[in-house]
Amino acid sequence: MRIGLSGGAASVERMIEQAVRAEDDGFSALWYASAVGGDPLVAMALAGRETSRIELGTSVLQTYTAHPVLQANRAASVVGAMGRPGFTLGIGPSHRPVIEDAYGLSYAHPGRLTEEYVRVLAPLLAGDDVHVDGEDFSVRSAGRAVAPAHRVGVLVAALAPRLLRVAGELTDGTILWMGNAKAISSHVAPRLAAAAEAAGRPVPRIVAGLPVAVVDDEAEGRHVAASLFAGYGELPNYRRLLDIGGAAGPADAALVGDEASVTAQIEELVAAGATDVWAAPFPVGDDRRASRRRTRDLLATLVA
């Protein structure tokens, strides 16, 4: 079972230690949000030098804040510094409040922009030159892009039909957040698989990211999850996926319960079509450290 964890710590040194420990414990990946350390790529490159097998991926870098040629060169720089395969670039358009309110950019066509972005990015990461004339990007990349020393995987944070098609047709798959088993089986997996098959591509990855807490009192765990993750239920992109999954809110989508219950919920994700589980442990109760340890111990047992 491929189970990864959320990456990120208070310092680069701690992030390197985290990656080494996660690899030693058998976890398949660490997934880093765009805000980790201000920008996670330098720390990921350093962590990649101190490890040999674990996948290090972004979950996700925003498309609007970096031109696709720059993004491709950043990825090539990271994998070159790592000196080994195992870097995966997860990208996505983020959300209207972030892009318009924080950055002052238009979010009028996120689907179109992301599709054009991927049509520039994916060939560059494969070492090809790009000549694209689109509505959002016009690119002639000859001499401006560095071919990665090792293969870079690409995943799209695809929640709606258009980007699921793009992910299946042009990339290695999708990386989700707040997509439960029902949303994966009824919406994500069939659309993604159909697009990949039509394009003659391999079966795509589905990285299912969800909060996780192993607790005796499931009601308490979901109450904490409702408080910690409420904001995700207010963002339209996640709200749509929660609705498809029949979840009233993020607390319903979270993986919460005792060891047997959480194990069953993870197995349900895999049965629904998830190829990878990205577990984001959160603490419940007064002893936060013990709570996180209990959750991690179960996850480590499942990957052993």
% helix, strand, coil for the chain, step of 5: 50, 20, 35
Q: Strand, coil or helix: what is 65?
A: coil
Every domain of the chain and the residues it spans = 3-303
The residue-averaged pLDDT of 249-277 equals 98
| Residue 211: per-residue pLDDT | 98
Check: CB of residue 152 under 8 Å from CB of residue 87: yes
Question: Which of the four pLDDT bands, split at 50, 70 and 90, describes residue 94?
Answer: very high
Looking up tokens 């997934």 gives 31
| Residue 1: per-residue pLDDT | 81
Check: CB of residue 291 under 8 Å from CB of residue 215: yes
Q: Please give the angle made by the CA atoms of 124, 125 and 126, to the nearest 5 degrees.
A: 90
What is the share, in percent, of the chain residues with pLDDT greater than 70? Answer: 100
Please name which of 238, 115, 235, 255 lies closest in space to residue 183, comparing C-alpha atoms.
238
pLDDT exceeds cutoff 90 at 144? yes
Handedness of CA 189, 239, 155, 280 (dihedral sign): negative
pLDDT tens across 12-25, in order?
A: 999 999 999 999 99
pLDDT tens across 226-257, in order?
A: 999 999 999 999 999 999 999 999 999 999 99
The letter for the amino acid at 201 is: R
pLDDT tens across 176-235, in order?
A: 999 999 999 999 999 999 999 999 999 999 999 999 999 999 999 999 999 999 999 999
The domain covering 3-303 belongs, at the CATH homologous superfamily level, to Luciferase-like domain (3.20.20.30)
Q: Please give the angle made by the CA atoms of 120, 40 and 54, to the nearest 5 degrees.
A: 90
The residue-averaged pLDDT of 116-138 equals 97
User: For residues 196 and 22, what is the distance between their CA atoms, to the nearest angstrom?
Assistant: 31
The residue-averaged pLDDT of 70-95 equals 98
The residue-averaged pLDDT of 49-77 equals 98
Please name which of 210, 223, 150 lies closest in space to residue 178, comparing C-alpha atoms.
210
Where is 189: in which H helix or E strand? helix 189-198
